[in-house]
Amino acid sequence: MILTITPNPSLDRTYEVPALDRGEVLRATAERMDPGGKGVNVSRAVAAAARRTVAVLPLGGAPGALVAELLAGQGIEVAPVPVAGATRSNIALAEPDGTLTKINAPGPELTAAESESLLSTIRTHAGAAAWIACCGSLPRGLAPEWYAELVARAHRAGARIALDTSGPSLLAALRERPDVVKPNAEELAQAVGRPLATVGDAVKAAEELRTYGAGSVLASLGADGQLLVSGTGTYFGSAAVAAVRSNVGAGDASLAGFLAAGGEGPAALASAVAHGAAAVQLPGSVMPSPADLDPSAVTVTADVPLDRPLTEPAS
């Protein structure tokens, strides 16, 4: 079982529009409503592969009830933590060329009692988990050190932790030695405080995160591929993609594929790349099923192209 933690989940509405014309009335050609949040997406991708997952979520108000209902309809066990504030609702506008414009609401402010209830619920389910995936930004009311406390408690319970967050929350948690961290290129650059222009720059930054405490670093480099930097080696993975439809949740699908394949080594990286490549070809934040994956399109190598420029340099 893979346990996911999403401290600030959402109800996501995605509209596909012919073009994003500011100040004009836009008519959507398609729309979707999905339960959202990075950990939620990981659970959705795990469930799409017919594997058991439990999603721990602080939920409140009508949007929270709808998130729980949508997840249950996808075969995902929900461990809700009732909160007084309403779960946030987000909007995404997707253009035909893959450009995505997102409006993310701040979400409710959690009280100290709600924070402790969230940690207690995680502890209740941690013993049955092969992995615990802690994902996304922290809501108002939770200090940047909250993830660090969660990682410490989970390790005391003997659980393996994958952490997908950024900024002060990531840096604070590294001292508790999470087993895997999953930044994208921009988050990786932010963590080390310098721009990344090449794949080699990203490798050096990932190695630096390991010196700070990360066991392994699974770094998403967008269209350029993914890196895995660990104590047993450094690997680079990429996949051909016919057309990008939406990149919402692609990194979350990658993390789900990585953990479902064991969470270490080149085979797990290949699974991560296949899941991410499949996700960007699906609408909205739809998570890929096994039928959507194309392992034959994936290349993983220990011969990392260090001098290759990043398509979108990170700073």
DSSP 30-70: EEEEEEESHHHHHHHHHHHTT--EEEEEEE-HHHHHHHHHH
Show which residues are catalytic: 252
For tokens 């919402």, the residue is: 248
Q: What are the residue ranges of helices labelled H in 104-235?
A: 112-126, 146-156, 167-174, 185-192, 199-212
Intervals of the chain under pLDDT 50: none
Instruction: Using alpha carbons, list the distances in angstroms from residue 196 to 184, 201, 219, 254.
Output: 11, 5, 12, 21
Q: Strand 309-314 to strand 2-5: parallel, antiparallel, or no bridges (unpaired)?
A: unpaired
Across the beta sheet with 100-103, the strand order is: 30-36, 10-16, 88-94, 100-103
What's phi and psi for 168, nearest 5 deg? -55, -30
Distance set, CA 279 to CA 222, 284, 297 (Å)? 12, 9, 14
Q: What is the model's pLDDT at position 243?
A: 86
Q: Which residues on neighbouring strands pair with residue 283, listed in sequence order?
A: none
The answer to whether the beta carbons of residues 70 and 46 sit under 8 Å apart is no
Strand 161-164 vs strand 216-220: parallel, antiparallel, or unpaired? unpaired
Mean pLDDT of the chain: 95
Q: What pLDDT score was predicted for residue 162?
A: 98
Residue pair 288/295 in contact (Cβ under 8 Å)? The answer is: no
CA distance 209 to 216: 9
pLDDT for 97 equals: 84
pLDDT (0 to 100) of residue 86: 97
10, 267 contact by CB (below 8 A): no
- 2-314 has which fold? UDP-N-acetylmuramoyl-L-alanine:D-glutamate ligase (3.40.1190)
Q: What share of the chain is helix, strand, coil (3-state, %, to 5)?
A: 35, 25, 35
Q: Where are the domains of the chain?
A: 2-314
Task: Provide the pLDDT for residue 204.
Answer: 98
CB-based contact 90:63 (threshold 8 Å): no
